[in-house]
Chain A
Amino acid sequence: MSTSKYTMDKLDSLEAQSVYVLREAYREFKSLAMLWSIGKDSTVLLWLARKAFFGHVPFPLVHIDTSFKIPAMITYRDDLALQWNLNMVVGQNKAALEAKRTFPAGAVDRISCCKLLKTEALKHTLAGTWPRYRLNHKTKKYELDANIEPYTGVIVGARADEEGSRSKERYFSPRDRNSDWDIGDQPPELWNQFKTDFAPGTHIRVHPLLDWTELNIWEYIERESIPESIPIVDLYFDKGEGKRYRSLGCYPCTMPVESKAKSVPEIVEELRTGKFKNIAERAGRAQDKEDGGGLETLRREGYM
Chain B
Amino acid sequence: MKISALEKKPSAHPREQMNVVIVGHVDHGKSTLVGRLLADTGSLPEGKLDFVRAQCERNAKPFEYAFLLDALKDEQSQGITIDTARCFFKSQKRDYIIIDAPGHIEFLKNMISGAARAEAAVLLIDAHEGIKENSRRHGYMMSFLGISNLTVCVNKMDLVNYDQKVFEQIKAEYLKFLKEVNLEPQNFIPIAAMNGDNIVANSAKMPWYKGASVLEALDGFKKAAPKHQQAFRMPVQDIYKFTARGDDRRIVAGRIESGTISAGEDVIFLPSNKRNRIKSIESFNTPAKQEAFTGQSAGFTMETQIYIRPGEIMCRAKDHLPHVSSKFKANIFWMGKQPLVKGKTYKLKVATQQVPVMLSEILSVMNASELSAAQKPHVDRHEVAECVLEAMKPVAFDAVGDIAETGRFVIVDNYEISGGGIILAPVFNEETALKQHIKKREYEWERSHIDPEKRAAKYDHKSALIIITGQIDTGKQKIAKALEEELFNLKRFTYFLGVSNRLSLASTDLKDKTLSKFEHLQQLGELAHIMTDAGLILITSITDIDEYELDMLKSLNLPNKTLVVKVGEGSFGDNKADLTLVENEDPQSAVKKIVDLLIRSVVLDPEYFI
A residues in contact (CB < 8 Å) with B: 1-2, 4-13, 15-17, 19-20, 23-24, 26-27, 50-56, 58, 85, 160-161, 163-165, 167-168, 170, 183-184, 186-193, 195, 197-200, 210-211, 213, 223-228, 272, 278-280, 283, 292-293, 296
Given contacts A187-B109, A293-B72, 11 further A-B contacts (CB under 8 A): A20-B237, A23-B237, A27-B310, A55-B247, A163-B71, A200-B510, A210-B86, A224-B2, A225-B1, A292-B73, A293-B73
A189 and B116 contacting across the interface, CB-CB below 8 Å? yes
- Given A161-B88, A164-B71, are A56 and B410 also a contact pair (CB < 8 Å)? no
B410 and A20 contacting across the interface, CB-CB below 8 Å? no
Q: What is the number of residues of chain B that contact chain A, defined by CB distance less than 8 Å?
A: 79
Residues of B within 8 A of A190 (CB): 112-113, 116, 408, 410, 417, 420
- Given A167-B85, A190-B410, are A55 and B295 also a contact pair (CB < 8 Å)? no
Complex Cα spacing A2 to B409, Å: 30
Please give me the residue from chain A that is nearest to B242 by CB atom. Answer: A56
B16 and A223 contacting across the interface, CB-CB below 8 Å? no
Interface residues of A, dominant DSSP: loop
B110 and A186 contacting across the interface, CB-CB below 8 Å? yes
B297 and A23 contacting across the interface, CB-CB below 8 Å? yes
Please give me the residue from chain B that is nearest to A172 by CB atom. Answer: B417
Residue from A54, A164, A189 in contact with B284 in the complex, judged by beta carbons closer than 8 Å: A54
**Residue B87 lies at the interface, judged by CB distance under 8 Å to chain A:** yes
- Given A6-B5, A26-B238, A272-B13, are A183 and B83 also a contact pair (CB < 8 Å)? yes
- Given A50-B285, A56-B245, are A278 and B113 also a contact pair (CB < 8 Å)? no
Q: Which of B81-124 contact A (CB under 8 A)?
A: 82-88, 95, 97, 107, 109-110, 112-113, 116-117
A165 and B71 contacting across the interface, CB-CB below 8 Å? yes
**Residue B188 lies at the interface, judged by CB distance under 8 Å to chain A:** no
**Residue B194 lies at the interface, judged by CB distance under 8 Å to chain A:** no
A197 and B296 contacting across the interface, CB-CB below 8 Å? no
A184 and B48 contacting across the interface, CB-CB below 8 Å? no
- Given A23-B253, A280-B48, are A7 and B5 also a contact pair (CB < 8 Å)? yes
Please give me the residue from chain A that is nearest to B71 by CB atom. Answer: A164
Q: Kindly provide the distance from the CB of A270 to the nearest chain B CB, expressed in whole angstroms.
A: 14
Please give me the residue from chain A that is nearest to B412 by CB atom. Answer: A197
Q: Which of B277-310 contact A (CB under 8 A)?
A: 282-285, 293-297, 299, 310
Residue from B87, B284, B296, B512 in contact with A16 in the complex, judged by beta carbons closer than 8 Å: B296
**Residue B600 lies at the interface, judged by CB distance under 8 Å to chain A:** no
Please give me the residue from chain A that is nearest to B7 by CB atom. Answer: A5
Interface residues of B, dominant DSSP: mixed
B228 and A6 contacting across the interface, CB-CB below 8 Å? yes
B83 and A184 contacting across the interface, CB-CB below 8 Å? yes
Complex Cα spacing A213 to B88, Å: 8
B72 and A226 contacting across the interface, CB-CB below 8 Å? no
Q: Which of B407-452 contact A (CB under 8 A)?
A: 408-410, 412, 415-417, 420
B242 and A51 contacting across the interface, CB-CB below 8 Å? no
B85 and A187 contacting across the interface, CB-CB below 8 Å? no
Q: Kindly provide the distance from the CB of B240 to the nearest chain A CB, expressed in whole angstroms.
A: 6
Residue from A17, A168, A197, A272 in contact with B72 in the complex, judged by beta carbons closer than 8 Å: A168
- Given A8-B226, A19-B297, A213-B88, are A296 and B112 also a contact pair (CB < 8 Å)? no
A5 and B97 contacting across the interface, CB-CB below 8 Å? no
Complex Cα spacing A283 to B112, Å: 32
Residue from B2, B110, B242 in contact with A54 in the complex, judged by beta carbons closer than 8 Å: B242
**Residue B335 lies at the interface, judged by CB distance under 8 Å to chain A:** yes
Residues of B within 8 A of A52 (CB): 253, 297
Residues of A within 8 A of B72 (CB): 164-165, 168, 183, 293, 296
Residue from A4, A11, A280 in contact with B228 in the complex, judged by beta carbons closer than 8 Å: A4
**Residue B349 lies at the interface, judged by CB distance under 8 Å to chain A:** yes
B87 and A167 contacting across the interface, CB-CB below 8 Å? yes
Q: Kindly provide the distance from the CB of B229 to the nearest chain A CB, expressed in whole angstroms.
A: 10
Q: Kindly provide the distance from the CB of A137 to the nearest chain B CB, expressed in whole angstroms.
A: 13
